[in-house]
Amino acid sequence: MIKWIGCHWLWEVLRYLKFGGMNNLENVDKEAYMVEYNTFERLEQLKSPRILNNHGFFEDQPSDLLKKNVKVVFVYRNIKDLAVSYYHHHTRFQEYKYNDSFTHYIRRLVSGLVDNGSVFEYLQGWEEGIRTSPGLSVHIVSYEDMKENPVAELRRLSEYLGTSTDIQFLENVAKATDFEAMQTRKVTSTLFLDQEGKPIMYRKGQVGDWKNYFTIADSEWMDEVIDRELGHSKLFKFKYSLN
């Protein structure tokens, strides 16, 4: 999962679905379960079953994805809201020292001149990898669908994972992993806080926040790019607002 596409949120959701009865559920740092932040030896020491997370391209995934009956959950988000989240990533983390305009920033994003490279190549690569890997077990999740119909999407996830589909359980998980609730909870636990003490990983989580940043010209330009790069996708259908 590429950064700022909902991977922190989804990882927490998966933990609640799998281990919802654990008393110490909230005391685990996601970074300890991220493939790119740890050695394989360290990851192997984690108690099984493990819910691992990474931002990697399909070609960079471990070959065991196709060998060991691994279940993969892939989340994607509309490109415009992703661009806004990525923009705040680079303006709120002081290490980047990015202070140029949003219009300039989205040109960098489209050109792949940001962390993890091109989001379009990332999505294209995953779609091609899924298409050509019939042995891969994968469940596709839309960030916007999770926001709009959380219980229904949690049920789909639970059916895929083989976890409880009890409606009361799913409603409890939806409440516990509501973005605003997690944002409040993570203020005291996240490793990444901005200068004001606010969690960088949980900024707004809104669908449609892009309208506050894109000019009409920027939006039309991005529409053309998205149509050119992903217009023929059979997996990724973007929602830019909720009903």
**Amino acid 235: pLDDT:** 96
Percent of the chain past pLDDT 90, that is, above it, reads 51
Position 52: which residue type?
L
Most confident residue range from 22-26, 117-121, 195-199, 218-222: 218-222
**Amino acid 99: pLDDT:** 79
Q: What does the alpha-carbon distance between residue 6 and residue 3 come to, in Å, rounded to a whole number? A: 7
**Amino acid 125: pLDDT:** 97
pLDDT digits (tens, 9 = 90+) for 139-175: 999 999 999 999 999 999 999 999 999 999 999 999 8
**Amino acid 211: pLDDT:** 97
Give the other-Cβ count within 10 Å of 41's Cβ: 7
Average pLDDT, the chain: 85
Position 206: which residue type?
Q
Please list, in sequence order, all residues whose beta carbon lies within 8 angstroms of the beta carbon of residue 32, skipping any fewer than 6 positions away: 38, 46
Domains and CATH numbers, the chain: 7-77+116-206 (3.40.50.300)
Q: What is the dihedral of CA 31, 36, 41, 46, to 10 degrees?
A: 30
> How far are the Cα atoms of 216, 217, 223, 226 from residue 220, in angstroms, in the given order?
6, 5, 5, 10
Please list, in sequence order, all residues whose beta carbon lies within 8 angstroms of the beta carbon of residue 213, skipping any fewer than 6 positions away: 83, 84, 87, 102
Query: Where in the sequence numbering do the catalytic residues fall?
Result: 55
pLDDT digits (tens, 9 = 90+) for 230-240: 999 999 999 99
Lowest-pLDDT range, 4-13, 27-36, 153-162, 196-205?
Answer: 196-205
Higher pLDDT, residue 160 or 187: 160
**Amino acid 213: pLDDT:** 97
**Amino acid 27: pLDDT:** 63
**pLDDT tier for residue 205 given thresholds of 50, 70 and 90:** confident
pLDDT digits (tens, 9 = 90+) for 26-74: 566 777 788 887 888 888 888 888 899 888 999 999 888 777 789 999 9
